[in-house]
Amino acid sequence: MSIKGTAGRRGKDVRSDCWVSVEPVETGGIQFDIKSKVGFLYADSIRSLVSNGLEKLGLKHAKVELEDQGALPFVIMARLETAVRRALPDTEVPELLPELNPGTMKPTTRDRWRRSRLYLPGNEPKYMLNVKIHQPDGIILDLEDSVPPEEKDAALVLVRNALRVLDFGDCERMVRMNQLPRGLDEVRPLVQAQVRILLIPKCESAEQVNQVTAAVEQARKDAGLEHAVYLMPIVESPLGMFHALEIAQASPLVVALTYGLEDYIAELSGRKTPEAIESLWARSRIINAARAAGIQPIDTVFANVGDMDALEQNVLQARALGFEGKGCIHPRQIPVIHKAFTPTDQETERAREIVLAYEQARKQGRNVVSVGSKMIDPPVVAQALRTIKLAIAAGKLCSDWQERNES
């Protein structure tokens, strides 16, 4: 008795995806039934991709149907692998891995820019192909809430393949894993696929961070990978809020701390208000915990993709509270977020004055100086230096601005 395994999506409205059905049989070799919207250019290559794929997956006799709506090879491979896994639930099926693109192997750093991070649903290939052109600081392929329970297996295979094949340019390669314990099984394929940041959803304890840390380090060691993989826990519950500091300090891999509001407010029995007073404590808590641990506090997503003015106000407020980044769910939000996290000309100029005046004062052996009517002391200078750093990163100021100033 054989089961038919299917994966992917079919129908006229589907784009950049395909639908695969695999039915293992006793004899007769592989019987193909391939329909492709791009067959006039890729019929032969699709057929050999499927044929080679089945061989690697260990299938010699099967009926295979493919309905392709212009899926890229890594997508076809992912759907094929998932279909075979579903057809053979009790068999050990090998991974059908696309070749690693050298462009995916760029390292990241602890303190790099994380102003914007764009969430993409992990089982939807069409959004992944061009996402880098919108230049978010990070791209999150999501395995958690945007993927329905029955597609979790398919999404993991697709996200793994996407990470192996797609060069995201300068965007940091992030995945939001599933909640533990399921998420722990996802670590190895993702680490091998050159993920750089794992977001741990609904994180409530240091223990959970430690479990993920162990899994990451084991996977890196097994695969002999040199580049670091960092963690960004997402706190989404009152208990997690109380444990925010220990979560932030749990592991040297944690580089940033963020939070989610929907579940948190539901657990509070709170209500969303326009002023967002219901989450002020939580936001402050996250920022304080992150700062105390020396990592980046990052704000949650802004859900209204139609209202860019409201988004800008929201980001300015987040920045004022101390956040360094914001989540987004639509590419058009990215430039608004970047702009709001970029110091204005006025702020940059002010920071320049402060830093220059202070250095002048230090040369004269003083630790306090006044610029205009304001007194400048070390904490103010530290703030100004942060502003300068932001301005340089945003291209508003040259990194050698001081030398230029002197010359």
Partner 1 sequence: MKMVKNAAGRLVPTEVNGKPAVPFKGVGKHIPSGNKAAPMIESCVHYPADGDKRVPSIKEALKRCGIKDGMTLSSHHHFRNGDLVANQVFDAAAELGIKDLVWFPSASFPCHEPVIEHMKNGVVQRVEGSMNGPLGAYCSHGHMKGLGVLRSHGGRWQAIQDGEVHIDIAVIAAPTADPFGNATGDRGPSACGLLGFALADSMYADRVIIVTDNLVPFPCIPWQIHGNNVDFVVETDRIGIPEKIVSGTTRITRSPDRLLIAEMTARFIKEAGIMRDGFSFQSGAGGTSLAFAIFLRDMMKQAGVKARFIRAGSTKYQVEMLEQGLADFILDGQTFDLEGVRSMRENPNHINTSPFTSYNYHGKGNFASMMDVVALGATEVDTGFNANVVTHSDGMLLHGIGGWQNCLASKCTILPIPSFRDRIPVIVDKVTTLCGPGELIDVIVTERGIAINPRRQDLLDAVKDSDLPIRTIQEIKAEVESMCGKPSKLKLLDKVVAVVKWVDGTIIDSVYQVP
Give the binding site for partner 1 (CB under 8 A).
Answer: 15-16, 37-38, 40-45, 69-73, 101, 129-130, 133-134, 165-166, 330-332, 395
74 or 259, CB closer to partner 1?
A: 74
Nearest distance in Å: CB 117, partner 1 = 16
Considering the complex, state which of residue 14 and residue 376 has its C-beta at the smaller distance from partner 1: 14
Comparison of 65 and 68: residue with beta carbon closer to partner 1: 68
**Closest by CA position to 124, among listed 78, 179, 174, 89:** 78
Q: Pinpoint the alpha helices (H) of 118-254.
A: 125-128, 152-165, 182-192, 206-223, 238-242, 244-249
> Could you tell me the smallest distance in angstroms from the CB atom of residue 73 to partner 1?
6
**Residues in CB range of 198: below 8 A, 6 or more apart:** 174, 175, 176, 177, 187, 190, 212, 216, 229, 230, 231, 232
Shortest approach of partner 1 to residue 66 CB, angstroms? 14
State the nearest-atom distance from the C-beta of 142 to partner 1, in Å: 17
Closest CB 40 distance from partner 1, rounded Å = 4
Tell me the C-alpha distance between 117 and 338, whole Å.
Answer: 11
Q: Least distance from C-beta 120 to partner 1, angstroms?
A: 12
How far apart are the C-alpha atoms of 89 and 83, rounded to whole Å? 10
Residue among 233, 334, 352 nearest 286 (CA): 233
User: What is d(CA 364, CA 142) in angstroms, rounded to the nearest whole number?
Assistant: 55
181/395 with CB nearer partner 1:
395
Closest CB to partner 1 among residues 330, 350? 330
The CB-of-396 to partner 1 minimum distance in angstroms stands at: 12
Q: Judged by CB, which is closer to partner 1: 35, or 37?
A: 37
Distance between CA atoms of residues 339 and 335, nearest Å: 6
Q: CB neighbours of 360 closer than 8 A, spacing ≥ 6? A: 369
Q: What are the Cα distances from residue 376, in Å, to 203, 297, 352?
A: 40, 26, 12
Report in angstroms how near the CB of residue 294 gets to partner 1 at its nearest: 33
Q: Shortest distance, CB of residue 41 to partner 1, whole angstroms?
A: 4
Tokens of 95: 């991974």
For residue 274, is the peptide bond before it cis, meaning its omega torsion is within 30 degrees of 0? Answer: no
d(CA 280, CA 282) in angstroms, rounded, equals 5
* Closer residue to partner 1 in complex, CB, 84/166: 166
Question: Could you tell me which residues are beta bridge partners of residue 63?
Answer: 23, 31
- 315: which residues sit within 8 A by CB, 6+ positions away? 299, 302, 326, 336, 337, 340, 341
Q: What is the CA radius of gyration of the chain?
A: 25
- Token pair for residue 103? 């462009």
Complex with partner 1: residue 15 or 152, whichever CB lies closer = 15
Closest to partner 1 by CB, 133 or 382: 133
